[in-house]
Structure formats: structure tokens, C-alpha cells
Chains A and B, each alone.
Chain A
Amino acid sequence: MTAFLLNRLGTMLMTMLVISMLVFFIAEVVPVDPARSALGPYAPQEAVDDLRDRMGLDRPAAVRYFDWITGILEGDFGESIHYQRPVGDLVAVRVQRSLALAGLGFVFMMPLGLALGCIAGITENRLPDRIISLISSIFVSVPSFASGIFLIVIFSLWLGWFPGVSMPDPDAGIFDAAKKLILPVLVLALDEIGYLARMTRVSMAEVMHSDYIRTAVLKGISRWQVIWRHALRNALIAPFTAIMLHVNWLIGGVLVVEVLFNYPGLGRLLLDAAMRNDITLLMGGTLVLTFVAVATQVLADIGLYFMNPRIRFERAAR
């Protein structure tokens, strides 16, 4: 048990270490002159030299990486070139907003996707399944920026129900805030519902064909009990794993949605940093976002460990 937890944590640390190296390598080592590319071709040479100095670009890459990473471990992500403010402060505010958005999307998507998938899996090849399967394969195929456009045009432009922009307004009431969030959350959820429903459908259908479901049916218990007691738990293991590993996709969705609805979260901050070649901010933000992704996966893995007795005992036996 403890061994398993330690193992997961160790893997997570290892992953973050490698990713930090990768991020540093791509962002700071590959470009010939990071300071010049940060300030653009028309900046005066003095300013570039000054920035070079502040970034410490004369020192060898290994030393710079070491400084950067030890800084981060102490909570210092460096200073944003553009905003001239500590990256940590900028990211901290934004990450909360992004997590709120992603969290809402998740809460919306999980029950819906799982339920649709279960219904489709139970009614395999019958009408409900065919309808759900068609809808979910369309949802899977439409990228979030496109579905966002469709929803904005339908609900903001034609129907005028919800605003097309989600800039939070501190003075707005809870109702207004909710109204503003509905479309972004919907876009985010739609992106994943199709995938989740498809995974759940396959898993549920497989379970419904299994010998132990046959045993349960032939025990003479009601269909509802067969599904509730015998099928559900086994059927949910696979989609649960899949969706947790899919958290990367969700992050991509968050980024697109934030840009589309002008929602000031971490995703938009990162994109702005990329546009302005604000390397320190880009590196810091990327690392934080990746950490969120990796941590979610580890949590999911631990959750799975408790959900599936089989894994638990196999690991214990080792």
C-alpha cells in the first residue's frame, strides 16, 4: 500500500523533472538569442543586452537550469519579461480561474458522459444506442473551437440567451456570472462527453456480454439489479481510467475556450506569453499546467487502485 503510493509519487517527481528539462531546453536552449526574440527585431541593442544580463544568458545552460529549478522549488518562478512582475503571482491568480472552469466542465461532463455511455452499452445495437453513438461520434469529431463558434452563433447571436464573452465582472451578481459561464462550460464538456460516452459504451457492452453478467441474469434477479450491482462498477473502471489519462485533452480545451470567450485564465495568459515571446512566463505557466495534469493522473491512479480489487491484490501479492 505505502509502497504503491511512494511508487506513484516517485514517478510523478521523475516525470516533472524530465518535463522541466524539456521545457527549459525547448524554450531557452534552442533559440539562438532568447533575449532578442523576446524583445523583437526592432528593440534597441542596449535593451537586449540588458535583458541578456538579467536573464543571465552568458552562463552555461546547465547552471541556468539549476538556478531556475531551485528557484521554482523555493516558489520563485522568475520575473515576467512583459509584465515585469513575478511569474508566480501572475500564474497564481489565473490558475484558480482555469481550475474553476475545468472543474465545472468536468462536473457537467462526467455524469452525462457516463450515463449516456451506459445507456448505449446496455441497449447495444438498438435504437437508443444508435442515436447516442451517432451523437457522440459527432461530438468527438467537432473540435472545441468549432463547437464554440456554433454555440456562440446560436445562443448569443441568434437567440441572445447568453453573452459570447465571459470576462468576469467583480460587480456582477451570481446569476450573471453563471450566465456568462454556461457557454464556455458547455463547450468544454461537449468536447469530452463524446469521448467519455464512447469509452463507457464499449466497456459497458463488453461487461454485459461477460460470463458473470450471464450468471447474474440466470440467478433470476431483476435487470435493474443486474446492471446496478453487477455491471456498473466493472464497466466504469475502463472509462474512468481513460478520462483521467485524457486530462491533457481537457487542458487543450480549456486553453481554446479561454481564448474563444476572452476568459482570463492561465491558458490565455500562456498564449499571450507565447505571442509576446515572454519566455519566463511561458516556462513557468507551462510547468504549473503540466503539474496539474500529472497530479490529476496520479490521483486518478490512486483512485483506481481502490476501485478495482483485482489491481489491489495483484500489487499486494508482489
Chain B
Amino acid sequence: MMLRHDRLRGAFAELVKTPNSAVGAAIVVFWILVAVAAPVIAPYTPTEMHDARLEGPSLKHWLGTDHLARDVMSRLFWGTRTVVALAPLSVLLGILLAAPLGLVSGYVGGRLDTLIMRGVDILMSFPTLLIYILIITSFGPSVIVVVISIALGSIPPIARIVRSLVMDVRSKDYVSAARLRGERRRFILLREILPNVSGPIVVDATIRIGYAIMAIGALGFLGLGIPPPTPDWGGMINEGRPWIFAMPWTVLAPAAALSSMVVGLNLFADGMRENAQLR
């Protein structure tokens, strides 16, 4: 156990060595801290209405107020929580749903594999944003529906990646050696194959969290995201859009926050990938 902990720390030290991934990690950590500390550092509650609507930046309201006279900075800080919680959650759900499909498809092969992959191919050609819109229209917008639809949308690509990783590892001689020892299927899948595919899956998941943040943002922007008054970056852009020429800060702030977060995640993921290749 000690050993594993050391290895983990070593891996992290390696990661921060590349300048890009260090910058990326810093950005992501910054937003996570903001999310955790939102109640403390936000000057007001996100739903509290003040005196003036659409007021420019002032000492009282650093980023001004929105069309309902709420403090934009407070909403921005609280909105971090939505993104930081929901994006990883939906990716985790996606992996939990897709990884078994990919594992089975890649390991068992044959007809089952053909069937699963045909299905995945078909779903892959379905524009993802349309899937979200369709599902959200049918079930009505809510936090759970948003998370589930993003998770469902990520099933095909995740299943595909897991499958190709598994197929690659399955053909390795150490898996044959395990079969020759008479290991059970479960042991082979969980002990021989899974540990060797989990690294790339984690890298992929990091990138996917970025996608999920974009998707949550896009849905909010389209008016299909987390229902108001919960603060949500995409929703803030949507609400502020009519006043973009008068009050650009109300939309610029969440757009910039969201972009920086995805940039940070992707830089971090790039660093991880580079490291995996170097090893």
C-alpha cells in the first residue's frame, strides 16, 4: 500500500514537470478551490436581488449585476459548483455504463462484439447535441436529466476506446499465459486486463470531463440546461445574451471561466498523455 502511494506521488511529480500540464493543473485546482470556498468568498448569495439591475462593475459589485439585479460575481463563484460537480459525475456515469460494454465486447469478441459495435457505430453517427435536446425535451430539464443525457451521449465513444484497448491487451502473451494457467474469466478481466487499460481510460476521462463541461455549458446556453434559478455558467450566458451590447461583462465572465477550465483540463490531459508515451 505504501508502495502504491509512493508511485502515485511519483506520477504526480512527473506530471507537474511538463510546464503545460503544470499550468493546466493549476487552473483546474484553482476552480475546484473556488467551488469549495464559494460560500465564503462570494460576496452575496447567488439568488439575492439588489437595488440596481444591469449595473456596471463597481466596488459593491465587482462584476456588476444582471437583469434580475443579482450579483454576477457571486453567481459565477456559485456556478463553479454546478460544473465541478456535474461534469465529473456524468463522465463517471458514462464510464460505468460504457466500460463493461467495451470490456465484454473486446474480450468475448465474436457475434456479441459485432452486435455491440454495430449499435455503437449507429449511435456515433447520431449528432450528440441532438440526443441531448431530444432527451431533455421528452423528460423536461432537470439536473438529473442533464447528467444522464450527457452520460448516455458519451457511451459510444467510451465503449469504443475501452474495446480497442482491451483487444490490444487481450492479444498479449501474458493473457494467454493466464488462460494456460486456468485462470477464471473474471480474474483475467479484472486482474490481467483492467489494470493495463485503466491508465489510458483515465487520460481519456480527463478529456471527456472537458467535453462534459462544454456540453453542460452548451445546454445552458441553449436554455435547456439546469433550470433557473440555480447558478450555472451556460445559463448565465443565455440570460445575459440579450444585453450583451449593453453589459458585456455579464456574459464575458462566465464564458471566460468556462473556457479557462476546459483549457486547463486539456493541458493537463496532454501532459498526462505525453508522460504515458515517454514511459
Contacts and interface: CB of A to CB of B under 8 A. Distances in A.
Interface of A: 11, 14-15, 18-19, 22-23, 26-27, 30-31, 137-138, 140-147, 149-150, 152-153, 156-157, 164, 245, 248-249, 251-252, 255-256, 259-260, 270-271, 274-275, 277, 282, 286, 289-290, 293-294, 297
B157 to A, nearest CB: 10
Contact of B127 (A143, A149, A251, A259): A251
Q: When A and B form their complex, which 10 residue pairs have the shortest distance between CB atoms, in order from nearest?
A: A252-B129, A146-B255, A141-B262, A141-B263, A143-B214, A251-B127, A248-B127, A142-B259, A145-B221, A149-B255
Contacts of A31: 138-139
A138 B252 contact: no
Given A251-B130, A256-B218, A140 B266 contact: yes
22 contacts: A14-B122, A18-B119, A23-B134, A27-B134, A27-B137, A137-B263, A137-B267, A141-B262, A141-B265, A145-B237, A147-B259, A157-B248, A248-B127, A251-B127, A256-B129, A270-B133, A271-B133, A271-B222, A271-B223, A274-B224, A290-B125, A293-B126
Interface in B247-261: 248, 251-252, 255-256, 258-259
B102 interface: no
A290 B126 contact: yes
B183 interface: no
A140 B269 CA distance: 13
Interface string B131-165: 00111111100000000000000000000000000
Most buried by A among B119, B127, B217, B223: B127
Interface residues of B, number: 43
Contacts of B241: 260
Contacts of B55: none
Given A140-B266, A152-B244, A282-B134, A256 B222 contact: yes
A19 B127 CA distance: 11
A153 B252 contact: yes
Contacts of B234: 145
Majority SS at the chain A contact face: helix
Nearest to B267: A137
Given A259-B222, A289-B130, 17 more contacts: A18-B119, A31-B138, A137-B263, A142-B262, A143-B217, A143-B262, A145-B237, A146-B217, A146-B237, A150-B252, A248-B125, A251-B130, A259-B221, A271-B223, A277-B137, A290-B130, A293-B126
A146 B133 contact: no
A275 B262 contact: no
Interface of B: 119, 121-122, 124-130, 133-139, 210, 214, 217-218, 221-224, 234, 237, 241, 244-245, 248, 251-252, 255-256, 258-259, 262-263, 265-267, 270
